[in-house]
């Protein structure tokens, strides 16, 4: 009946954990002992209990014999399957004694209750910092040891935390989960989106001391100021051409590598620059965002609008120039070419 009532009369006098049977308590007491007589023949890790060793050995075999019939996910141990199934059933048998929050795992409850008690049982062996979770201590100690156990399988770069590796992998996959709700532009990091949002603001508090041009972002101003100094510190080792910015060099190097990472979603044409792709896709969408304020004619490209404006500039009484008109029209019919020089920062 104790199985049904949940009663566990045998209590550990060292940690307070309770057990249904005396034999269970006896096995548990080995956890508190310094002795770990049972060693894994594969990795050498030692355990205080033989049963724990047997469970550990299953992780080396990789055999996942327990299947969840709800989602078909597989598990190495029956216990892991049991805990997983609570996700589907919604069962949360462990209730916090301080608040009404409930948990599916007893370990989750124990960790949660430390919020109320303020208990921090895990102390760093290198400094006096303490933690409520062993995982937090492990992460912290890597600051002292310099350990980076998480390796990128694409480029081999190492990381101290799995979350850092996860973010890094987005560089390879191209995933950009943070999207601007005003223009749809996507970003790898939330901080980059936050910085970008200043572009949509009317405020441009950062002004260039040389030409007076204003910018919404300080970093954009710093990049712009480099164009006044004329210092070209970035050099291509293929052709020795120099650039003012690292980004200018990066874009240029794609001429040598032939890299064209931006593919049109309507056809198979590829581009080395995202701006070139954006312009190209207007051919398919027929979007013409640049409108003449003189006659209302719209254009796909800003350069075409600028050339068109020359037509109005020469259309003065008794001064109409047919030659200028034809020259402008000729340019309008031409295709935009990719600019291989340093791009000025745009707001």
Provide the sign of the torsion angle of the four alpha carbons 112, 114, 120, 121, taken in this order. negative
Among 91, 114, 131, the domain-final residue is 91
Angle at 257 between CA 252 and CA 261, to 5 degrees: 80
Mean pLDDT of the 83-102 span? 92
Q: What is the pLDDT of residue 85?
A: 92
Q: What is the pLDDT of residue 316?
A: 54
Q: What is the pLDDT of residue 322?
A: 44
Identify which has the larger pLDDT, 257 or 317: 257
| pLDDT classification of 101: cutoffs 50, 70, 90 | very high
Asked if residue 207 belongs to a domain, the reply is no
Q: What is the CA radius of gyration of the chain?
A: 33
Q: What is the pLDDT of residue 6?
A: 67
Give how many domains the chain has, as a whole number.
Answer: 2
Among 73, 91, 109, the domain-final residue is 91
Asked if residue 54 belongs to a domain, the reply is yes
Asked if residue 284 belongs to a domain, the reply is yes
- The pLDDT tens digits for 48-81 are 888 888 888 888 888 888 999 989 999 988 889 9
Rounded-to-integer distance, Cα 137 and Cα 296, Å? 65
Identify which has the larger pLDDT, 250 or 16: 250
How many helices (H) and strands (E) would you count in the chain?
Answer: 13, 22
Identify which has the larger pLDDT, 170 or 120: 120
- The pLDDT tens digits for 259-291 are 888 899 899 999 888 888 888 988 898 888 889
pTM (global) more than 0.75:
no
Give the CATH number, domain containing residue 44.
3.30.160.60
Share the mean pLDDT of the chain: 83
Asked if residue 159 belongs to a domain, the reply is no
Rounded-to-integer distance, Cα 42 and Cα 245, Å? 52
Find the domain containing 277 and state its range: 262-333
- Tell me the β-bridge partners of 304: none
DSSP string covering 251-311: HHHHHHH----EE-SSSS-EESSHHHHHHHHHHHH----EE-TTT--EESSHHHHHHHHHH
Mean pLDDT of the 69-96 span? 91
Asked if residue 269 belongs to a domain, the reply is yes
| pLDDT classification of 237: cutoffs 50, 70, 90 | confident
């Amino acid at each position: 009946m104790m199985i049904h009532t949940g009663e566990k009369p045998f209590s550990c006098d060292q940690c307070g954990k309770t057990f249904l049977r005396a034999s269970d308590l006896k096995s548990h007491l080995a956890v508190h002992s310094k002795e770990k007589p049972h060693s894994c023949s594969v990795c050498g890790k030692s355990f205080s209990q033989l049963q724990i060793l047997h469970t550990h050995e299953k992780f080396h075999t990789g055999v996942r014999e327990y299947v969840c019939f709800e989602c078909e996910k597989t598990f190495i141990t029956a216990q892991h399957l049991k805990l997983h199934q609570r996700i589907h059933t919604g069962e949360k048998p462990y209730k916090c004694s301080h608040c009404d929050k409930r948990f599916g795992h007893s370990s989750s409850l124990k960790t949660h209750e430390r919020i109320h008690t303020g208990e921090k049982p895990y102390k760093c062996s290198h400094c006096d910092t303490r933690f409520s979770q062993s995982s937090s201590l492990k992460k912290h100690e890597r600051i002292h040891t310099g350990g980076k156990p998480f390796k990128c399988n694409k480029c081999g770069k190492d990381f101290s935390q799995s979350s850092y590796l996860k973010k890094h992998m987005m560089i390879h996959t191209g995933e950009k989960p943070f999207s601007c709700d005003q223009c749809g532009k996507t970003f790898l990091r939330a901080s980059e989106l936050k910085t970008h949002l200043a572009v949509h603001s009317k405020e441009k508090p950062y002004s260039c001391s040389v030409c007076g041009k204003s910018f919404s972002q300080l970093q954009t101003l710093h990049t712009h100021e480099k164009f006044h100094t004329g210092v070209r510190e970035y050099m291509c080792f293929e052709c020795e051409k120099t650039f003012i910015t690292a980004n200018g060099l990066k874009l240029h190097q794609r001429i040598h590598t032939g890299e064209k990472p931006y593919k049109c979603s309507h056809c198979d044409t590829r581009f080395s620059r995202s701006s070139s792709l954006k312009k190209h896709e207007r051919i398919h969408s027929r979007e013409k965002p640049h409108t003449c304020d003189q006659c209302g004619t719209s254009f796909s490209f800003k350069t075409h609008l600028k050339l068109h404006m020359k037509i109005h500039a020469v259309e003065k009484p008794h001064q109409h120039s047919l030659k200028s008109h034809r020259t402008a029209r000729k340019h309008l019919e031409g295709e935009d070419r990719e600019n291989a020089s340093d791009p000025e920062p745009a707001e």
